Structure 1
Amino acid sequence: MIKLGAGLLVAAATLVLPAVLDDSGLAVYILLGLAAMVTVGVSLLMGYAGQVSLGQGAFYAIGAYTAALLALGGVPPLAGLLAAPVVAALSALVIGTPLLRLRGHHLAFATLAMQLILLSLAGQLEFTGGDIGLQAIPQFSVGSFEVGGAAAYAYMTWGGLALVMLVTHNVITSRPGRALRALATSEIAAASSGIPVGRYKLVVFALSAAFAGLAGGIYCFYTGYVAPGSFPVLISIQYIVMAVVGGLGTIWGAVVGAGAITLLVQGLDRLASLPGMPTYAPSVLSYAVYALVLILVVLFLPNGLVPAITGRLSRDRDTARR
């Protein structure tokens, strides 16, 4: 009953907020939803499958560039948006085949290198617009209906997040989900139990990339512009911080973590824009605060915010029953 009530409350707030927020608030709300979409995939990949990736920003970029290139080429925006997660997932299958033979920090650094290579190529290739990027991307539309205004994109974003959360829930409650948890505990034990470890790692890597690709597709239509600078390396680190803060291996933890870090970043940006601040202040503050937040969470909330809160509520209920 408590979970149902909380879910209905969140759903109601999601529907009401776009109608009451101003343009700046809507921009934060949309970016929060997009970040949560990617972070759910990170939580699935790291929390359930035990695979560390510092390259989710690359798949976010792939989804954005895919949708943008198709839309600019005359393809209906809906087809471009649908192609974004598919191309991101296929890219993950190709890239993940050699990379997922690595483990731990080796895999993390390899995925980070993947993003650096991708951004370098996007900045040099002519069809991606080089460092200038792709501009004048058409508004998202379905037939004669065109999505206009930030409020419409907010509903679109959070609808996509709801879809991602539903898919993730169905995956983790299924038999493959149990296999993923076994894989995260011990790959050797999982393999000895008959679980195709390599295949499962590749599939969950592709699924998390598809989530990022979908977010990237929505992002490109919302901003109308994509460039290598839209997807810095810091963004991939940000997604991991979000997942850890909210609680790895939890769906709602990804959303809570994305909300907490997005609001924190907005506060840091305002602080960095104050008169007298150097131009490098935003990046320096971000890295410093991310490091501090991670240290504090690991020390005092090792399982993240959502597991800590739900654990506390569970203990309070048990105490009340006694």
Structure 2
Amino acid sequence: MKAAAGCAAALALPLLLPSRHLATFVLLTLAAAVTVGVSLLMGYAGQVSLGQASFYAIGAYAAGLLAVHGTPPLLGLLLAPVLAAAAAALIGFPLLRLRGHHLAFATLAVQLILLSLLAQASWAGGAIGLQGIPRFSIGGYSLTDDLGYAYLALLVLGIALLVSRNVVSSRAGRGLRAAATSEIAAAASGVPVGGYRLAVFALSAAFAGLAGGVYAFFLGYLAPGSFPVLLSIEYVVMAVVGGLGTIAGPVVGAVLIVVLVQVLNTLGTQPGMPDYAPSVLSYAVYALVLVVCVLYLPKGVVPSVSAALHARRR
């Protein structure tokens, strides 16, 4: 019942929003889809990734390059998560042998290497960027307005949430939770810890790649600067704020962070504010939100609110 009400509200929201806010809604929804993968990776597999934006970039460039060279946009969008997952599986095979902050720094290094390669690759537009990406189309129908992309982004988010929910409730999901609690005990019980973690790493990359494909068609232009390291940190902050290991947490975290950042950016661009104000305020909000969550909501917004409501009912 709650899921049906949430779906109905999500489908009605783009129609109720002013047209000037639809672009923000699209980017917010795509961020939530990527954060679902981050929450699955961190909350259930117990692995920290600071390079999730690299798979977002792989999916975006894959879809954009295929479309620019004449591939139907639908096929490009379908191949984007496949290529991102394949890259994650290739990278994750050696990297997932690392643990804790070593893995976090390794994934961060992967993104820095990718951004450097994209900036030097002439076939990807180099530092200037990839231009001329066509609008997303199926057959003879093309998405030409933000409302259409809003519903396409909602479809991507719905797929990510549905797949994530099925994974969590499956045998593999139970094995991942056991491994996150005690890897040695899980392995002794017959859980293929390494295989499950690699599969979740690739799945989270597929979510990011699919969202990146929509991002490419939505903007029609890609550049290495579109995928900074700060973007990966944003996804981690969204997952932590919303609540790791929950289905709704990534969506709530994405909404809170994106809306807050938009408000602060608007404040930073007011007359009389220095040029560096939007950037400083953005960094400040991540630090402030993380500190508040760690101190007062250590499990995240969704688990804390659920626990409070349950206690009140009792």
TM-score range, shorter chain: over 0.9
| Cα distance, 1:20 vs structure 2 | 2.4
CA displacement, residues 93-135 of structure 1 (integer Å, 9 cap, x when unaligned): 1111111111000100110111011011111100110111111
Higher mean displacement: 55-64 or 288-297 = 288-297
**Is 2:153 aligned against 1:157?**
yes
Unaligned runs of 5+ in 1: none
In structure 2, how many angstroms separate the alpha carbons of the residues matched to 1:23 and 1:66?
29
CA displacement, residues 201-260 of structure 1 (integer Å, 9 cap, x when unaligned): 111100000000000000000111111111111000000100011000001001000000
Partner of 2:272 in structure 1? 276
**Is 2:88 aligned against 1:92?**
yes
Partner of 1:117 in structure 2? 113
SS at 2:248's partner residue?
A: helix
- Give the letter for the 2:94 counterpart: P
| Cα distance, 1:269 vs structure 2 | 1.2
In structure 2, how many angstroms separate the alpha carbons of the residues matched to 1:283 and 1:191?
45
Aligned positions of 1:101-140 closer than 5 A:
101-140=97-136
| Cα distance, 1:315 vs structure 2 | 1.3
SS at 1:251's partner residue?
A: coil
Partner of 1:205 in structure 2? 201
RMSD over aligned Cα atoms: 1.0
In structure 2, how many angstroms separate the alpha carbons of the residues matched to 1:280 and 1:65?
30
In structure 2, how many angstroms separate the alpha carbons of the residues matched to 1:297 and 1:154?
30
In structure 2, how many angstroms separate the alpha carbons of the residues matched to 1:20 and 1:313?
29
SS at 1:127's partner residue?
A: helix
In structure 1, how many angstroms separate the alpha carbons of the residues matched to 2:67 and 2:252?
33
In structure 2, how many angstroms separate the alpha carbons of the residues matched to 1:9 and 1:149?
26
In structure 2, how many angstroms separate the alpha carbons of the residues matched to 1:9 and 1:194?
40
Q: TM-score, normalised by structure 2?
A: 0.98
| Cα distance, 1:154 vs structure 2 | 0.3
In structure 1, how many angstroms separate the alpha carbons of the residues matched to 2:197 and 2:207?
16
Question: Given the alignment, which residue of 222, 236, 239 partners 1:240?
Answer: 236
In structure 2, how many angstroms separate the alpha carbons of the residues matched to 1:245 and 1:128?
35
Partner of 1:230 in structure 2? 226
Percent identity, aligned pairs only? 64
Partner of 1:173 in structure 2? 169
Question: Given the alignment, which residue of 288, 295, 304 partners 2:291?
Answer: 295
Would you say the 8 A contact 2:119–2:126 is kept in 1?
yes
| Cα distance, 1:145 vs structure 2 | 1.3
Question: Given the alignment, which residue of 14, 18, 22 partners 1:18?
Answer: 14
Partner of 1:53 in structure 2? 49
Would you say the 8 A contact 2:241–2:301 is kept in 1?
yes
